[in-house]
């Protein structure tokens, strides 16, 4: 079973990655190619957060898996938006 502290740490990391990626997506839509490095960094942070939560999910209990899955859905949706949005 995943510890509560471990889960909170991964969820916080995921939330920070989501906020950063959303900001970069918004800026990317406004500035086009002017923030390419930050945009790529945001995508990489999202991917790392997804991998971390996927690994954590294997040892989580049912309630924790549900919370992890919600975060994963949100991050995957944002990843998709970042891929299909012209920046």
Q: How far apart are CA 57 and CA 59, in angstroms?
A: 5
Q: What is the pLDDT of residue 31?
A: 74
Q: What is the pLDDT of residue 24?
A: 92
pLDDT per position as a tens digit, 29-61: 887 667 788 999 999 999 999 999 999 999 999
Nearest CA to 53 among 1, 5, 14?
14
Range of the domain at 38: 4-84
Global pTM? Answer: 0.86
* Number of domain units in the chain: 1
Three-state DSSP class for 1?
A: coil
Nearest CA to 10 among 40, 66, 51?
51
């Amino acid at each position: 079973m995943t510890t509560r502290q471990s889960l909170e740490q991964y969820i916080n990391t995921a939330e920070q990655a989501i906020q950063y990626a959303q900001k970069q997506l918004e800026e990317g839509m406004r500035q086009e190619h002017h923030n390419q490095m930050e945009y790529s960094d945001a995508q990489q942070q999202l991917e790392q957060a997804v991998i971390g939560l996927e690994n954590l999910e294997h040892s989580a209990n049912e309630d924790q898996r549900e919370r992890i899955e919600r975060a994963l859905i949100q991050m995957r949706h944002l990843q998709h938006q970042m891929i299909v949005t012209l920046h």
